[in-house]
Amino acid sequence: MQNHFPLWKNILILFVFGIGIIYSLPTLYGEDPSVQVSSTQTEAINQGLAGKIEADIKSTGINLKAFEFNDGHVLARFNNTDDQLKAADFLRDGLGSNVTVALNLAPTTPQWLRALHANAMYLGLDLRGGVHFLLEVDMDAAVKQAEDRYNDDLRLALRSEKLRYQSVAKDNGYLKITLNSADDKASLFTLLSKDFRTLEITEPEDKNQVWLKISVKEERELKKTAVAQNMTTLRNRVNELGVAEPVIQQQGENRIVVQLPGVQDTTRAKEILGTTATLEYRLVDVEHDVQQAVAGHVPVGSRLYYERKGAPILLDRRIIVTGDQIVDASSGVDQDGRPSVNISLNGVGAA
């Protein structure tokens, strides 16, 4: 049959067909059992540590197929899962808690195809296997933390304004302030309208009391922020596992779905994703002797903590700022040229 199409159309068809073949080739290549090593500290793995990891694996007699070091991450490829598991156990014992050792499946796409950004087709859990997590965010804990913070802030504000009170107590979702005299109510309302505008005010029958409650709008924002922060944290932790194209999405009001295609070490994945972490800012107690606290005499209003390297430090019991009040953070340098972290707070944290 004679071809009636002009030459340029035939060439275009062949060109498009050829491009399609090239970008479908990665799907034909398999995957290597691999071990990915990444740092859990602020500093990434350097070339020296990467070289040591490679030498240590080879010294055990494990058959190492390939070794890659890119952007502070180490990827060791193996011929079979037995060697992969042996290497992972060896590295976890030798490297300690400063690094994350994760099992994975690394694509064997040739370098020339990767240079063309030709990657294997994304395969979900149904075709590739992996791990599916359904996590529930503790909404009540976020609200309770806000109530605790308001409770401390109210006590401090009352003392600063020299308003005499009998108690500030939490009771069934309310913050109940009991004044010494009903005559101080006007001053209390002035304080509340200035510094605690987001709290709803209720006046009970007892004239010396004022009840405060977190508003429905703020409670909704607290819960929304809790989910968003947990999703951000989960994304950062998934990066430690080196999973390609993970799925992290909200399901309903308080649940998060995490799908990790290709992940083999389910126990390690659960351990990394399930770790609880909180961020709190407290003042350093410089008025008392930390050694006395170590000996068991911790001052009232202070708490004894230990730094990462084991040094004791006394901190004020009152929390100044919590992680849910931080809306943005970025790295930089201070006026003396030293590394610093700049944070932005929401209205409550900045008050």
Residue 71 exposure: Cα atoms within 13 Å on the Cβ side:
4
pLDDT at 16: 94
β-pairing, 31-39 vs 99-107, is antiparallel
In a domain, 264, yes or no: no
Question: Averaged over 12-39, what is the pLDDT?
Answer: 87
The tally of domains found in the chain comes to 3
Q: Are residues 117 and 45 in the same domain?
A: yes
Neighbours of 294 (CB within 10 A): 13
Question: Averaged over 231-253, what is the pLDDT?
Answer: 80
Question: Averaged over 137-158, what is the pLDDT?
Answer: 86
Q: Are residues 106 and 17 in the same domain?
A: yes
In a domain, 174, yes or no: yes
Please check the confidence at residue 42 and state whether its pLDDT lies above 60: no
**Smallest Cα–Cα separation from 109: which of 28, 18, 35?**
28
Q: Are residues 24 and 63 in the same domain?
A: yes
State pLDDT tens for residues 46-77: 888 888 889 989 888 899 999 988 877 888 99
In a domain, 209, yes or no: yes
**Helices 139-160 & 216-241 angle (0-180, nearest 10):** 120
- Say if residue 338 is exposed, middle or buried (CB neighbours under 10 Å; 0-12, 13-18, 19+): exposed
Please report which residue ranges of 108-184 form alpha helices under DSSP H.
111-115, 125-128, 139-160
pLDDT at 332: 76
Claim: this prediction has a pTM higher than 0.75: no
Question: Averaged over 289-308, what is the pLDDT?
Answer: 86
Q: Which residue among 105, 121, 137 closes a domain?
A: 121
In a domain, 328, yes or no: yes
Q: Are residues 170 and 99 in the same domain?
A: no
Is the Cβ–Cβ distance between 349 and 325 less than 8 Å? yes
User: Which amino acid is it at 86?
Assistant: K
In a domain, 302, yes or no: yes
State pLDDT tens for residues 176-220: 998 888 888 888 888 888 888 889 988 888 888 889 999 889 888
Q: Which residue among 68, 88, 121 closes a domain?
A: 121
Helix (H) or strand (E) holding 210: strand 209-214
End-to-end CA distance of the chain: 82
Q: Are residues 166 and 185 in the same domain?
A: yes
Domain range for 289: 280-350
In a domain, 267, yes or no: no
Which CATH number belongs to the domain containing residue 215 in this structure? 3.30.1240
pLDDT at 255: 92
Q: Is the model more confident about 303 or about 274?
A: 303
Q: Which tokens hold the place of 5?
A: 């199409």
pLDDT at 326: 73
In a domain, 1, yes or no: no
Is the Cβ–Cβ distance between 123 and 114 less than 8 Å? no
Q: Are residues 94 and 194 in the same domain?
A: no
